[in-house]
Amino acid sequence: DAVASHAPALAEACVQETGIGVAADKVVKIRFACHNVWRSLADRPAAGMIDVDEARQLTEIASPMGVVFGIVPLTNPVSTFVFKTLICLKTRNALIVSCHHNALGVGNRTGEIIQAVLQQHRAPVDLVQWVRQRGSRRKTMMFMKHPGVAFILATGGPSIVKAAYSSGTPAIGVGAGNAPVLICADADLAAAAQMIVQSKGFDNGVICGSENNLVVDASVRTAFVEHLEACGARVLTPQEKETCVK
């Protein structure tokens, strides 16, 4: 709630510092990370015995790993910081965050809000820490390989995700998305076009989950393009495409 209440200011600061995205859309992302992620975790067990399978004689027991190192990307610095904080605190793990060097300012502001809430609730403020000054690939690798780091949550480009998986420390990596999307012959063309334009236009398309390529069944291509245009999409001429690429 504390971060969500600062969402408009943090979103504006994010756009100003990083130079990418749309502030109004980032407000939505920040509040989604604050509220929807929290709701997905609330009232769910995260410690002790969480499941018993009598047939397989298997008992699942949740226990903290220790210190988690979280890498936060340029595209979604505040929302990713909040998301990783929530899942780590829920599971009784400490977190050290490393923000992209071009999002340090807004990363510092987000961390300070989080630590203030920890202090308010008499929790150790250092449960959530972050690299406050400009980092480097060397510093990041030192954290990844540090014996005191139990786990890595790496969100970023392919190189940083590969580095996390190659560090020798257990890791979950999320790299570039932008997957192609298949439009089948029996698809609801109007609904698909509307969702794709909304998704690709949200926050100027910086979210890796937005559609990067459309693979359309030839039998519905013409009709689908018409639906895209009706939703505000623009089909470029070969000359316009060449200009955009340059």
Distances (CA, A) of 84 to 5, 14, 32, 78: 18, 18, 13, 10
122 φψ region: left (φ > 0), alpha (ψ -120 to 50), beta (else): left
In single-letter form, the type of residue at position 224 comes to F
Alpha helix positions (H), 37-103 = 37-41, 77-90
Cα dihedral 54, 56, 61, 67, rounded to 10, equals -160
Residue of 14, 88, 99, 208 marked active site: 208
Quick one: tokens of 150? Answer: 């139990």
208 is catalytic: yes
Phi first, then psi: what are they for 245, rounded to 5°?
-65, -40
Quick one: tokens of 16? Answer: 């100003």
Q: How far apart are CA 105 and CA 12, in angstroms?
A: 12
168 forms bridges with which residues in the sheet? none
Non-local (6+) Cβ contacts of 211 within 8 A are: 178, 179, 180, 181, 196, 199, 200
Is 25 buried (19+), middle (13-18) or exposed (0-12) by CB count in 10 A?
A: middle
- Determine how β-strand 213-216 pairs with β-strand 180-183: parallel
> Which residues are identified as catalytic?
208
